[in-house]
Structure 1
């Protein structure tokens, strides 16, 4: 029984050391990809936000265009009214 426990303890120690080595190697191999993957992740987050909230993006575009246009006052009022109505539903 003690032999079995000793073998298991040695096996566990060996596996822990192996996992630590593999973790270190993986960390080193991923370092060059960290910045590009971070940028890609941010891009996907922005894309998902735009997909989930198209009204906000459209509203921002309309407001930016409407500030230079005399019809801007009516566009802003219409957008606010539409968003309020949509939130009530």
Structure 2
């Protein structure tokens, strides 16, 4: 019985060491994908926001086309800055 327990303990240690090496190796392979995956996450977040707020998107599009080329750029910049400010205030 003692021999079997010793074998199991040894096997467990071996497997734990193997798993630790595999985690490190996996981390090295995944690290280059971290930034692209973060970008995909932000894109998915934007899609979810648009799905939750379709009237807001429709209203913004209507306003954009109503203002024309010259006026829309100025208001888009202002809107973008306001949105960024609101997001930062919510995070704090």
Q: Runs of 5+ in structure 2 lacking a partner?
A: 72-92
Quote how far apart the aligned CAs of 1:58 are.
2.5
Larger helix proportion of the pair: 2
Q: Residues 11-22 of structure 1 correspond to what in structure 2 (within 5 A)? A: 11-22=11-22
Aligned to 1:25: 25
Rounded Cα–Cα distance in structure 1 between residues aligned with 2:33 and 2:20:
21
Residue 50 of structure 2 corresponds to 50
1:48 CA drift (Å): 1.3
Indicate the structure (1 or 2) with the bigger Cα radius of gyration: 1
- Residue equivalent to 1:8: 8
**Which structure is higher in RCO with an 8 Å CA cutoff and minimum separation 6?**
1
Q: How high is the TM-score relative to the length of structure 1? A: 0.64
**Structure 1 stretches (4+) deviating beyond 3 angstroms?**
59-68
C-alpha root-mean-square deviation of aligned residues, in Å? 2.0
Q: Take 1:58 and 1:37, find their aligned partners in 2: how far apart are those partners?
A: 28
**1:9-52 deviations in whole A, cap 9, x for unaligned?**
11110110000000000000111111011001110111111112
